[in-house]
């Protein structure tokens, strides 16, 4: 049985111990994956979110993740029944659901301008992140150049932070505790780009578009969203990638999957 997300959230309000008008849903992050639960999950970093049962539309606690299907599990924890979308030990299937998250909106056109390659900016951190994730060093630098011009203290008008201009929720999911640390930002950004490249089978254009506008927008438009700033961003990253690849004397590489 597959049900839409609003039904799954509504069911949480009817479970034992849930209040009649509002409830607490925990958004839990573990190993860069997100789940929703009625109680904090062991081994996850969980944040309590208050959900109003009288709201016209169920809140989006997942983020911009496009369309995907999942399972709500039931298990015992501390002597009571709890529910979670993560399959933890002792869980049994309660119901199946489908999530359609909002398409989001473009982050920003980028703070850096197309210019010459800057190979001396955070070179050690980029090399380490490339080795750890398999994402090409030249492409990581092109994204950082377009995003922040390598400024570790950069903050966009929409709240993106650091060298890789990660939004706070994305930074948390990537394990970044200090978004203004160049090392953490570059490492987190590389892990996020690695996931995007895996999702889009190595297509850098789609990965860059999703990095700027969100996965939901790419899913909605079945390609690069027709947002002026996203189109300009993708073009800028592509131009910078060529400059960094040439400056570093390397040919295009295939990302790790």
* CATH number of the CATH domain containing 130: 1.10.530.10
**Same domain membership, residue 152 and residue 82:** no
Residue 74 bears catalytic tag: no
- C-alpha span between 30 and 139 (Å, rounded): 27
Query: Using one digit for the tens of pLDDT, what is the confidence trace for 176-201?
Result: 999 999 999 999 999 999 999 999 99
20 versus 177: the higher-pLDDT residue is 177
- On the CB side of 38, CA atoms within 13 Å amount to 25
Same domain, 151 and 243: yes
Q: Is 184 left (phi over 0), alpha (psi -120 to 50) or beta?
A: alpha
Average pLDDT of the segment spanning 204-213: 93
224 lies in which domain range? 123-247
What is the CA angle 253-235-139, rounded to 5?
Answer: 25
| Overall number of domains in the chain | 2
Tell whether 10 is covered by a domain.
yes
What's residue 149's pLDDT? 93
- 193 vs 160: CA distance, rounded Å: 15
Residue 9, pLDDT > 90, answer no
- Out of 41, 136, 147, 173, the active site residue is 147
Helix (H) / strand (E) containing 170: helix 168-173
Task: Using alpha carbons, select from 39, 19, 15 the residue that is nearest to residue 27.
Answer: 39
d(CA 171, CA 187): 10
The strand pairing partners of 117, in sequence order, are none
Is residue 108 included in any domain, yes or no?
no
Tens digit of each residue's pLDDT (9 = 90 or more) over 56-92 = 445 566 555 555 567 889 999 988 999 988 999 999 9
Per DSSP bridges, beta strands 92-100 and 2-4 are parallel
What percent of the chain clears pLDDT 70, i.e. is strictly above it? 77
- How does the average pLDDT of the chain come out, rounded? 81
In a domain, 148, yes or no: yes
Q: 101-138, pLDDT tens digit by residue? A: 555 555 566 777 788 889 999 999 999 999 999 999 99
Which residues make Cβ contacts (< 8 Å) with residue 79, sequence separation at least 6? none
Look at residue 198 and tell me if it is in a domain.
yes
Distance CA 58, CA 80 (A): 26
Residues 90 and 8 in one domain: yes
- Which residues 6+ apart lie within 8 Å of 64 measured at CB? 101, 102, 103, 104, 214, 215, 216, 217
Domain membership flag for residue 228: yes
pTM above 0.85, yes or no: no
Query: Distance between CA 105 and CA 242 in Å, rounded?
Result: 27
């Amino acid at each position: 049985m597959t049900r839409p997300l609003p039904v799954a959230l509504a069911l949480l309000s009817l479970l034992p111990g849930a209040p009649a008008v509002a409830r607490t849903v925990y958004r839990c992050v573990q190993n860069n994956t997100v789940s929703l639960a009625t109680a904090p999950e062991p081994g996850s970093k969980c944040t309590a979110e208050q959900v109003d049962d009288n709201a016209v539309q169920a809140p989006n606690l997942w983020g911009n993740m496009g369309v995907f299907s999942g399972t709500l599990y039931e298990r015992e924890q501390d002597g009571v029944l709890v529910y979670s979308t993560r399959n933890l030990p002792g869980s049994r299937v309660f119901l199946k659901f489908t999530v359609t998250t909002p398409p989001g909106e473009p982050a920003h056109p980028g703070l850096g301008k197309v210019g010459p390659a800057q190979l001396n900016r955070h070179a050690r951190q980029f090399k380490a992140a490339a080795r750890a994730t398999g994402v090409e060093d030249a492409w990581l630098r092109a994204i950082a150049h377009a995003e922040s011009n390598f400024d570790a203290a950069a903050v966009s008008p929409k709240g993106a932070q650091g060298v890789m201009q990660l939004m706070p929720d994305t930074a948390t999911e990537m394990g970044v505790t200090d978004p203004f640390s160049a090392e953490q930002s570059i490492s987190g950004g590389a892990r996020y780009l690695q996931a995007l490249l895996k999702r889009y089978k190595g297509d850098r254009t789609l990965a860059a578009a999703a990095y700027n506008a969100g996965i939901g927008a790419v899913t909605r438009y079945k390609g690069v969203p027709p947002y002026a700033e996203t189109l300009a961003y993708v073009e800028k990253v592509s131009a910078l990638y060529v400059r960094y690849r040439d400056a570093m004397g390397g040919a295009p590489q295939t990302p790790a999957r």
